Structures are given as C-alpha cells and as structure tokens.
Amino acid sequence: MNSNPVSAQGGLTISSPAAGAILAAGPDYATDVLGDPWDMSNVEDVARDPAQVVGWTNFSVANGVAGGTTALVNGASNATTITFLQRAYYGILNPGRTGRRYPIDTSKYAKLAFKMSSTRSDQQPRIGWFHNDLGDPSGDGFGYRFVDPTFATPSGNNIFVVDLTQNLLGGTPWSSGGVKGFILYPNSSAVGYPVSFDWVRLTAGDAMATATVMPISWSGGSGTSMIQVTDAG
C-alpha cells in the first residue's frame, strides 16, 4: 500500500520510510482465506444471516461503507451487532461463507484493525468471537473484549488496532482454537446514533513471524515527541 504522511512534533526529520515509499501489506484473513477483503465493497463482507446483524435501523452495505443507526435489541441498548464472519448452524448444511467452512486460524491471525465512524464519544465497543457453531451442544465457545479496556472510543472517523490475545473480558480466549464467528458490538449503553465501518482487517500479531513491520526512523529533537501517521484513504 502507499505510504501515508508522517508528521512529528519538536522539529524531527523523518528518514524512514521515505516519502512515496510503497509499503508491503501484511497478511489479512479476509483477503488470504476468503479471497475478498472486508472493505465493505459488497454485501458479502457482512454476514447474510439477518439474525447475526441485529440492532440497526436502515442498515446497509453501500459505497464502501457498512452501517446504519443503532437500535434496541430486546430492550437492551448495548447489543447492536455486526457479524463479519458468519457462524454456521450446528448439524445442518450451511452454504456460503461461514466460519465452519472458513475458520480463522488464530495461530496466524491475532491482531485486528478497523476503521469505524461514530457520533458518540461515550461508548465502549466490544469485539466478540465464537469457537463453535450456533447450537453446538458443547456451547458457543464465546469470548470477548473491549476495543479499549480503559477508555471510551472517540467520536468521528477513527482507526482502531487491537491485540485479540490480550485483555480478555470474559469467556474463551482468542487463541484457544479456530474461530467460527467474528462480531463487533459498536455500542455499550446508547442507541439512536449512526455507526459505520469502512474496513476490517485481521492480521498477524506483532510477535508472529509473518507480521509486516515498518520501522520509523528520525533525527533531531530532544525529549518526548509524538509521531502521527494519518490514513489518507
């Protein structure tokens, strides 16, 4: 992918990556396994089962964006759900893209990055995963964590990066086996506001051999500085 503008406080000079450098993309589950990145360019980027995309009004996948207005789910204001890897139903044939046919190999994919737009800054979105099919007698094998375990996510259009092996909030850890369903809950206590997703990537964890890492080098300045990388897309 193309390099993005890099700026820094304190008069620093960025020497790497060079301006205009082409940066190699890392592994991506949807691209590598499904052959179709979760870039919200087609309706198949979100589960086709309506029972797995709930708590929305006017939900759509169009113009490279998936989302709508959050709504109550059985009276709850924290249960709006968007499923990216659809769970199969236990004991029956399940055509199409499901986690039974295309499970996420958690030994290869352990880091999540996604771009989400929201008008609220007081919500703590959660990420959830299922190791088993819907209706499996042994249970769901469900685990989940907050996007940020400490702070509410900011309003506006933001990129979030999450290590799925850390800060388990409850249930079964990510790395305990193949994942057969993958979901996000964008709200934690409110409804009636718009949320949308531009893209979602599941890639290798930083410590994995397949991870693509781009070192940033600079000179000048002193003390503590901040480097900001801006997504130009």
pTM assigned to the model: 0.86
Render the burial of 116-127: b for 16+ CB within 10 Å, e for the rest.
bbbebeebbbbb
Topology given in CATH for the domain delimited by 24-213: Jelly Rolls (2.60.120)
Q: Is the pLDDT of residue 117 over 60?
A: yes
Task: Compute how many other C-beta atoms are within 10 angstroms of the C-beta atom of residue 37.
Answer: 17
Range 61-83 average pLDDT: 98
Amino acid at 131: H
Report helix, strand and coil shares of the chain as percent, to nearest 5. Answer: 5, 35, 60
For 14-53, the pLDDT digits (tens) are 888 887 777 778 899 999 999 999 999 999 999 999 999 9
* Domains of the chain, residue spans: 24-213
Q: For the chain, give the mean pLDDT.
A: 92
Helix (H) or strand (E) holding 29: helix 29-29
Instruction: Report the C-alpha gap between 67 and 46 in whole angstroms.
Output: 10
What is the average per-residue pLDDT within 82-108? 97
Q: Which two tokens stand for residue 159?
A: 């990129």
In angstroms, rounded to a whole number, what is the distance separating the alpha carbons of residues 120 and 69? 12
Instruction: Identify the residue with better confidence: 222 or 183.
Output: 183
